[in-house]
Amino acid sequence: MANKLQIKLIKSPISCQPGQRRTLRALGLRKIGQTVQHDDGPAIRGMIRAVRFMVDVVESK
């Protein structure tokens, strides 16, 4: 069974670069405090790394 990542948006993307905003939208994050769940993988990890200062990540099984 694949590990899951819970990703929560904790900071507003208003003053961010357009690519970072697109990354948040691709992750499914639209509002502050919203949490989404994704399968753990290199693509998702790379997206998280691009916006690591705006999100909080919790690993779960």
Mean pLDDT, rounded, for 12-38: 96
Residue 2's pLDDT band (boundaries 50, 70, 90)? confident
Residues 57 and 7: beta-carbon distance below 8 Å: yes
Mean pLDDT, rounded, for 23-29: 97
DSSP letter, residue 14: T
**Alpha-carbon Rg of the chain, whole angstroms?**
11
CA distances from 33 to 2, 3, 9, 26, 27 (A): 25, 22, 5, 16, 14
Going by C-alpha positions, the residue among 4, 7, 3, 2 that lies closest to residue 25 is 7
Looking at residue 26, what is its pLDDT?
97
For domain 4-60, the CATH architecture is: 2-Layer Sandwich (3.30)
Looking at residue 25, what is its pLDDT?
97
Looking at residue 60, what is its pLDDT?
87
25, HSE (Cβ side, Cα atoms, 13 Å):
8
Mean pLDDT, rounded, for 37-51: 96
